[in-house]
Amino acid sequence: MAQPELLLVEDDAVVARSVVRALRSVPYEVSCAATLAEARRRLDARVYRALVLDLGLPDGHGLELARELRLGGRPMPIVVYSGQIDRAAARAIAELRAIALPKPATGDALRRALTRATALEGAGRTPTAHAC
């Protein structure tokens, strides 16, 4: 039986490979997108169980995609994994029922953030692999 799939939206190939390695121990198969446009195409083509999202992408800001998912009623745990998390971004991330995780982070921190995002989405509260 196939594992549930996680979508990683990250434009830096080195970071993407690192995240894939870090998530080997969680029950997800990882697919990657390097742009918002590619992420949207992938999200239209299949159902993902979770999203790990960078903010600074070549074709826009990652929070655009998170907002689209929330406004479109597509429930999914979201971890925003970025080096661009300032106060305003942290507030927006919390309002979107997502977990903020500043880069760089250890694999353990990434796995814990994904677990917290999954619990948060399941509770409906506002908070706080493949090679790519």
**Distance between CA atoms of 53 and 7, rounded to whole angstroms?**
8
Domain presence at residue 23: yes
Please state the domain count of the chain.
1
CB-based contact 113:99 (threshold 8 Å):
yes
The predicted-structure confidence for 73-124, as pLDDT tens digits, reads as follows: 888 999 999 998 999 999 999 999 999 999 988 888 988 998 898 887 764 4
Q: Domain span at residue 53?
A: 5-123
The predicted-structure confidence for 20-33, as pLDDT tens digits, reads as follows: 888 876 767 889 99
Domain presence at residue 130: no
Domain presence at residue 96: yes
What pTM, to 2 d.p., does this model score? 0.86
* CATH number for position 24: 3.40.50.2300
Q: What are phi and psi of 125, to 5 degrees?
A: -100, 160
